[in-house]
């Protein structure tokens, strides 16, 4: 088993922290889309920033799994993941350009992503397919749940943005189905059922894989 432990939180520096985070921040322009109050349109566009970060994080994580999966199921999983990487990269571009269209400058730097994200870095290194797939199932659940929340929030402000998000959720849920299809036993039970952390999901994935083999 090659599962690594979750990344350690960085040790606290004794240096005084700056009161404002360094690096680029969203800038507001003078407009938003026609028919939407500028304040409301820009407020929604700013909420898209976390979706941009989440999708950037997701395509990097999928590529990491593509490189580090091993074992007898290697080739199927390795090849399944690349089209997902490409599709998620395309989603990032759509979100960033929608933000700009709505009058807010998107931030696409890695430092801003790491500073803003509320989730831990993906912990799995060289590992069997069941481990990566169980971890990715939870990663997808997190991204999809947050996308769905913004689908609900955007309904009143801007149905066009809502439509973009709905289209992305449709694709993300299909990709999660691809992942989950490797984790289902003959009775229809999903190996990651009830798991709330990636480590827990990975352990359940390994146990289920052993019971099948
Ligand atoms: Fe590759």
Q: What's the pLDDT tens digit per position in 140-150?
A: 999 999 999 99
Ligand 1 centroid to residue 22 C-alpha, Å: 34
Q: What residues does 184 pair with on adjacent strands? A: 190
Say what the pLDDT of residue 23 is: 79
Ligand 1 centroid to residue 66 C-alpha, Å: 7
Ligand 1 centroid to residue 72 C-alpha, Å: 17
Say what the pLDDT of residue 211 is: 83
The whole-angstrom distance between residue 146's C-alpha and the CA centroid of its chain comes to 9
Which residues, given as ranges, of the chain have pLDDT below 70? 1-22, 212-213
Ligand 1 centroid to residue 67 C-alpha, Å: 7
Q: What residues does 26 pair with on adjacent strands? A: none
Ligand 1 centroid to residue 141 C-alpha, Å: 24
Ligand 1 centroid to residue 13 C-alpha, Å: 37
Ligand 1 centroid to residue 179 C-alpha, Å: 18
The whole-angstrom distance between residue 144's C-alpha and the CA centroid of its chain comes to 8
């Amino acid at each position: 088993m090659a599962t690594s432990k979750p990344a350690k939180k960085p040790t606290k520096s004794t240096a005084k922290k700056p009161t404002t985070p360094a690096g680029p921040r969203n800038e507001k322009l003078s407009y938003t889309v026609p028919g939407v109050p500028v304040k409301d349109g820009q407020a929604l566009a700013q909420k898209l920033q976390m979706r941009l970060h989440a999708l950037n994080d997701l395509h990097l994580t999928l590529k990491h799994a593509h490189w580090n999966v091993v074992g007898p199921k290697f080739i199927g999983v390795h090849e399944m993941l690349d089209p997902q990487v490409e599709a998620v990269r395309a989603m990032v571009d759509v979100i960033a350009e929608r933000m700009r269209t709505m009058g807010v400058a998107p931030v696409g730097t890695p430092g801003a992503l790491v500073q803003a994200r509320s989730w831990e870095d993906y912990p799995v290194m060289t590992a069997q397919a069941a481990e990566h797939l169980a971890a990715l199932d939870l990663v997808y659940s997190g991204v999809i749940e947050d996308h769905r929340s913004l689908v609900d929030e955007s309904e009143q402000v801007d149905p066009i943005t809502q439509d973009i998000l709905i289209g992305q959720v449709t694709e993300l849920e299909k990709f999660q189905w691809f992942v989950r299809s490797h984790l289902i036993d003959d009775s229809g039970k999903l190996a990651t059922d009830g798991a709330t952390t990636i480590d827990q999901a990975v352990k359940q994935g390994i146990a289920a894989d052993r019971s099948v083999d």
